[in-house]
A = this chain, B = another copy of it.
Amino acid sequence: MKVLITGGLGFLGLRLARRLTELGRLTGPSGKPEAIDRLTLFDVAVPRPRPEGLDKRAELVAGDIADRDTLFSLVDRDDIAVFHLASVVSGGAEKDFDLAMNVNLMGGLSLFEACRRLKSCPRLVYASSIAVFGGAAMPPVVGDTTKQTPQTTYGTTKAALELFLNDYTRKGFFDGRTARLPTVIIRPGKPNTAASSFASGVFREPLKGEGCVVPVGRDTPMPVMGYREIVEGLIRLHEMDGALLGDDRAVSLPSLTVTVGQMIEALQRVAGDRPLGKITIAPDPFIEAICRTWARDARFDRAITFGLPRAASLDQIIRAYIEDYVDPVGAKGAG
């Protein structure tokens, strides 16, 4: 079978691709496990050199997700599974409304239409976001049954696509499953335009020995989860019996709610004797305004029912990051 990952060359997309490369198989539209013979990673640009951890099954394609012809050419087999991660992120969407509507809404609908044209009913896992919640009426703790009144264009487009995924699934056009992601940490590399970027930077930069400026206050709470658990969650959601999901195909993935202060304490605890770069708290009104609209705490009842993976502690998430990116096994060993 073929697996298509939109946003497949982003951080989560690539980690998902590597994990699927290891696994080698997924449940196909037939409902039976099938070997993956093609792994198509679609994104706005293809990085050079070719990312590691992929094999010859991987095909890297650059293009515009809002272009239907492109999407139709990618969704070209009945034996396909789709992971839809492509998105303009929160800060970027606030700065370019039209781009966010085009990529997040129209791009998502183009993908949905491409799946609808198949003879099969492929499984499609869509990465939504906790940013669908917000506003004055938002309860102190958000979850699977909370009304979605997002206060960003990012959250608005994410929430709308949750609705359309439910309807395309109800109509039998594909078999959709929405994973509603908390803030995913710890992203390696450089900061991105997500307003939540600091939630990775606060660990990443100090562990590199670099200074880090946190643009929100120390008491700011944020539901977070590690990338390992999120990638496993996306795959588990794909593999689940869809009938268990019922008519609302969306599941808030598990999260840990921690404040910036708790992030810093956990980092210092896990780092031990490592030298850490300096962390400066310097609130930025643009970022704070976005963060204030977000959920302060989250429940994930359905995810618990379905047994979706969660990290037990922030310390565990930091240790995984150190293992994967700061002191990788490959860098220590002879090879």
Contacts and interface: CB of A to CB of B under 8 A. Distances in A.
B135 A247 contact: yes
B146 A147 contact: yes
Contacts of A136: 246-248
B151 A247 contact: yes
B163 A167 contact: no
Contacts of A97: 171
Contacts of A166: 149-150, 156
A300 interface: no
Among A156, A166, A167, A248, max chain B CB count under 10 A is at A167
Contacts of A134: 247
A153 B167 CA distance: 6
A331 interface: no
A108 to B, nearest CB: 11
A305 to B, nearest CB: 13
Contacts of A135: 246-248
Given A247-B135, A248-B137, A164 B171 contact: no
Interface in A141-196: 144-151, 153, 156, 159-160, 163-164, 166-167, 170-171
Contacts of A101: 109
A273 to B, nearest CB: 48
Copies per complex of this chain: 2
Interface residues of A, number: 28
B150 A156 contact: no
Given A137-B248, A156-B163, A147 B149 contact: no
A151 to B, nearest CB: 6
A150 B163 contact: yes
A306 to B, nearest CB: 15
Contacts of A171: 97, 153
B147 A148 contact: yes
A164 B135 CA distance: 14
Interface string A77-105: 00000000000000000000100010000
Given A156-B163, A163-B159, A164-B160, A151 B170 contact: yes
A280 B106 CA distance: 46
Contact of A156 (B151, B153, B167): B167
Given A156-B164, A248-B136, A147 B150 contact: no
A102 to B, nearest CB: 11
A52 to B, nearest CB: 39
A156 B249 CA distance: 14
Contact of A137 (B145, B150, B160): B145
Contacts of A137: 144-145, 246, 248
Nearest to A101: B109
A134 B166 CA distance: 12
A171 B151 CA distance: 10
Given A97-B171, A134-B247, A148-B163, 6 more contacts: A101-B109, A136-B246, A146-B147, A153-B171, A160-B160, A163-B163
